[in-house]
Amino acid sequence: MKLKNYVHGKWEEGSGEGKPLYNAITGEVIAHATTAGLDFGDMLRYGREVGSPALRKMTFHERGRMLKALALHLFDRKEQFYEVSYATGATRPDSWVDIEGGIGNLFAYASLRRQFPNEPYYVDGATAPLSKGGNFIGHHIMVPKEGVAVHINAFNFPVWGMLEKVAVNWLAGVPAVVKPATLTSFLTQKVVEEIAASRILPDGALQLICGSASGIMDHVESQDVVTFTGSAVTGKMLKSHPRIVEEAVPFNMEADSLNCCVLAPDAVPGTPEFDIFVKEVRREMTLKAGQRCTAIRRVMVPENLLEDVQIALGRQLAKTTIGDPQTEGVRMGALAGKSQVEEVRSKVLELAESSEIVYGDLNNFEVVGADKEAGAFLAPILMRNDDPFKIHAVHDIEAFGPVSTLLPYQNLDDAIQLAKMGMGSLVCSIVTGDNKTARDFVLGAASHHGRILVLNEECAKESTGHGSPMPMLVHGGPGRAGGGEEMGGKRGVLHYMQRTAIQGSPTTLTAVTNVYQYGGKQTEKDVHVFRKHFEELEIGETVFTHKHTVTEADILNFANVSGDNFYAHTDVTSLDGTIFEQRVAHGYFVLAKAAGLFVDPKKGPVLLNYGIDECRFTKPVYPGATIGVRFTVKEKIDQEKRSEEDIAKGIVKFLVDVYDETGETVALATILTMVKKVDQS
């Protein structure tokens, strides 16, 4: 059987016999993979010309709902993915991280839509005033790139590796071409079969290459984005491709790295932290048979605790039953293929030239429910390097399997230095019950790591663990780890968008962004804004309120009601040497009085006040000052109905501009109101 590629919205076989793909447990051939005859340039054009326009027309909210629908579709069919995943050598817990973790990324980015407007674009940051009179301003707008995201993924997570990336580029409005590692591409293809069958995505949003993608880089253009996960050697070769350089194509690299875990000096045997440390290292060595880009490769321990850790970790590893993942009691399955076994064995032998194997054996170990010679099995290997500052191999060579090395250190500064000797990693962790130790280590080591996990008794039970990147946090690292960032919530989405500085008058930029810019034209209508439904309100629509002259009685009464008797409001004898000329009105009185001026009290479409953002008091208000309000529709944010019975509504942001008799602004705030829609469908 040949794996099919998903190209131009249909399934196509490559020509020729292709590369055989094996069951990691039995050694049997599952399928053959080939891309011979495929036109990669045509695939990228299809993504740009068909997928890109369709996604760019959608709003963030529409894209987010698309992701949610797809996540639900895949979650309902997850069991068929588990059945295929066993052939990669993965246990059920291994596959849970890959399959449900990947689907979880779709859910997470679907929810992230609420941090974006219901528009196809995103207005980034604050307005920049560029002129004295305020009639010339600047802002930033972000629009989807008009290219394709080309994802070149590793073999260890054939589902998560794809879904954690496409969730981000789809929310941004960019289509994808996914190239999974050929070794485990049969599982990726199974998931894409379900994605394609769902018809949830627009045409051209996803294409799949099962087999070699040699030559695809010759066709990338400046609007494309390339991401790579895998070995640093391959990543550097791709990153230096002439097209990447000539077209200035964004290239995000996430390379395997020598991640570490540190046992702090306070975490001695008998403390909860000592036990947490041992269990965490054992888990990271055996989960997915150690084939994780985030797995712990270097285990740093105070030299006086080295023997204790070696014994305790050895006891934990001895509980690991290796074999067929579908056999009861098996804790660790196989590596992804025999080629990986040979690769890991060769690296262990290299490390063994300068480090001692203190637990495990490359040849003598038992396998349950499977043929040890037929499958791609390897036992956990724990090594020890007693002089890690002089013997550098452990900081340079990675065995990408169930292999870790113990390294002693004398003090926390030594631990920080050892952590940095990996020359950049995806993740580092420290187990400590002492918060000062945690602070000193994080600040000392953060420059060389993409993520740092601090584990202690307080968080261990709820922690997702050393090796688990989270959708809303960045995944990547400096130096050897590739220098890139994936996921990261909103940060990741913006990676697939073009940030453009825009300049002009406040009125013009209001029209461009659909967000009212301070100083822009304001329009007054006959009907108060609180009498209008969500759909009827227009950006820039303004209520100019009646005015109120502030008295000393106002200030004293507000002090009595609020309990705020700060001296500047109540004790005029204490004002010498302050910035105040006389008794000053409370800022919150000014805001409360502003509400009294702009609110229309009758029952209408406004359901409630949702909150206040960006409140500033810009000028003191003294007795005798006369204040009024310019109350302007600043932004409208659509909301989805949570059920058939829910009221159809949206959030309207109003700019509250309170000014005095001189025309100067004395207070600025943005209030959020929940406003009913006319259309309740």
In sequence order, what DSSP letters do the residues of 390-418 get, joined into one string?
Answer: T--GGGT----SSEEEEEEESSHHHHHHH
Examine the pLDDT at 634 and tell me if it is beyond 90.
yes
Please state the rounded mean pLDDT for residues 384-389: 94
Stretch (H or E) spanning 19: strand 19-22
Q: Please, which pLDDT band fits residue 156 given cuts at 50, 70 and 90?
A: confident
Q: CA-to-CA distance for 507 and 353, rounded, in angstroms? A: 71
Please state the rounded mean pLDDT for residues 578-591: 91
User: What pLDDT is recorded for position 644?
Assistant: 82
Residue 260: both structure tokens together: 């570490």
Question: Which amino acid is present at 597?
Answer: L
Using an 8 Å Cβ cutoff, are 613 and 670 in contact? yes
Residue 44: both structure tokens together: 């990228």
Using an 8 Å Cβ cutoff, are 572 and 500 in contact? no
Q: Cβ contacts of residue 680 below 8 Å, gap of 6+?
A: 647, 648
Q: Which residue has the tokens 């997702």?
A: 464
Q: CA-to-CA distance for 381 and 299, rounded, in angstroms? A: 13
User: What pLDDT is recorded for position 9?
Assistant: 92
Q: CA-to-CA distance for 98 and 88, rounded, in angstroms? A: 11
Phi/psi of residue 470, nearest 5 degrees: -110, 145
221-225-230 Cα angle (round to 5): 120
Q: Which residue has the tokens 């500052």?
A: 389
Q: Which residue has the tokens 């005798």?
A: 624
Q: CA-to-CA distance for 426 and 476, rounded, in angstroms? A: 5
Q: Which residue has the tokens 């050694």?
A: 27
Using an 8 Å Cβ cutoff, are 171 and 115 in contact? no
Q: CA-to-CA distance for 655 and 630, rounded, in angstroms? A: 8
The domains located in the chain, with CATH, are 4-122+142-254 (3.40.605.10), 260-475 (3.40.309.10), 522-676 (3.10.129.10)
Closest C-alpha to 541, from 550, 531, 552, 556: 531
Q: CA-to-CA distance for 119 and 382, rounded, in angstroms? A: 53
Please state the rounded mean pLDDT for residues 55-68: 96
Q: CA-to-CA distance for 18 and 458, rounded, in angstroms? A: 52
What is the DSSP code (8-state) at residue 647? P
Beta carbons within 10 angstroms of residue 183's beta carbon: 20
Please state the rounded mean pLDDT for residues 588-616: 91
Q: How far is CA 357 from CA 138, 292, 380, 384, 397, in A?
A: 62, 21, 11, 6, 15
Examine the pLDDT at 679 and tell me if it is beyond 80.
no
User: What pLDDT is recorded for position 175?
Assistant: 98
Closest C-alpha to 185, from 32, 293, 41: 32
Q: Please, which pLDDT band fits residue 18 given cuts at 50, 70 and 90?
A: confident
The beta-carbon contacts of 214-219 under 8 Å, at least 24 apart in sequence, are 215/40, 216/40, 216/44, 216/150, 216/177, 216/179, 217/241, 217/243, 217/244, 218/40, 218/41, 218/243, 219/40, 219/41, 219/44, 219/243
Using an 8 Å Cβ cutoff, are 102 and 160 in contact? yes
Please state the rounded mean pLDDT for residues 51-70: 96
Q: How far is CA 372 from CA 219, 379, 403, in A?
A: 44, 11, 19
How buried is residue 642: exposed, middle or buried, by Cβ count under 10 Å (0-12/13-18/19+)?
exposed
Examine the pLDDT at 680 and tell me if it is beyond 80.
no
User: What pLDDT is recorded for position 235?
Assistant: 84
User: What pLDDT is recorded for position 597?
Assistant: 94
Using an 8 Å Cβ cutoff, are 473 and 487 in contact? yes
Residue 524: both structure tokens together: 């007054």
Closest C-alpha to 90, from 10, 168, 7, 186: 186
Examine the pLDDT at 137 and tell me if it is beyond 90.
yes
- What percent of the chain clears pLDDT 90, i.e. is strictly above it? 79
Examine the pLDDT at 168 and tell me if it is beyond 90.
yes
Using an 8 Å Cβ cutoff, are 499 and 139 in contact? no
User: What pLDDT is recorded for position 62?
Assistant: 95
User: What pLDDT is recorded for position 264?
Assistant: 96
Using an 8 Å Cβ cutoff, are 649 and 677 in contact? yes
Q: What is the pLDDT of residues 331-378, one digit of tens each?
A: 999 999 999 999 999 999 999 999 999 999 999 999 999 998 999 999
User: What pLDDT is recorded for position 14?
Assistant: 82
Residue 121: both structure tokens together: 């674009």
Q: Which residues form the catalytic set?
A: 254, 293
Stretch (H or E) spanning 497: strand 497-504
Examine the pLDDT at 307 and tell me if it is beyond 90.
yes
Q: Cβ contacts of residue 379 below 8 Å, gap of 6+?
A: 322, 360, 361, 362, 365, 402
User: What pLDDT is recorded for position 327?
Assistant: 92
Question: Which amino acid is present at 21?
Answer: L
User: What pLDDT is recorded for position 604?
Assistant: 87
Q: What is the pLDDT of residues 545-555, one digit of tens each?
A: 999 999 999 99
Half-sphere exposure of 416 (CA within 13 A, CB side): 14
Q: Please, which pLDDT band fits residue 17 given cuts at 50, 70 and 90?
A: confident
Q: What is the pLDDT of residues 227-250, one digit of tens each?
A: 998 888 888 889 899 999 999 999
Give the residue with greater pLDDT, 213 vs 51: 51
In three-state secondary structure terms, 217 is helix
Please state the rounded mean pLDDT for residues 598-604: 89
Using an 8 Å Cβ cutoff, are 475 and 160 in contact? no
Given CA atoms 526, 528, 529, 535 in this order, what sign does their dihedral have? negative
User: What pLDDT is recorded for position 498?
Assistant: 95
User: What pLDDT is recorded for position 590?
Assistant: 95
In three-state secondary structure terms, 486 is strand
Q: How far is CA 599 from CA 431, 529, 585, 595, in A?
A: 54, 9, 21, 6
Q: Which residues pair with 401 in a beta bridge?
A: none
Q: What is the pLDDT of residues 461-511, one digit of tens each?
A: 988 889 888 888 889 999 888 888 888 889 999 999 999 999 999 999 999
Q: CA-to-CA distance for 582 and 564, rounded, in angstroms? A: 17
Q: CA-to-CA distance for 126 and 650, rounded, in angstroms? A: 23
Q: CA-to-CA distance for 276 and 208, rounded, in angstroms? A: 41
Q: What is the pLDDT of residues 406-457, one digit of tens each?
A: 999 999 999 999 999 999 999 999 999 999 999 999 999 999 999 999 999 9
Q: CA-to-CA distance for 395 and 385, rounded, in angstroms? A: 11
The mean pLDDT value of the chain amounts to: 93
Q: Which residue has the tokens 């390897």?
A: 378
Please state the rounded mean pLDDT for residues 510-517: 93
Phi/psi of residue 180, nearest 5 degrees: -75, 160
Give the residue with greater pLDDT, 421 vs 646: 421
Beta carbons within 10 angstroms of residue 506's beta carbon: 21
User: What pLDDT is recorded for position 89?
Assistant: 92
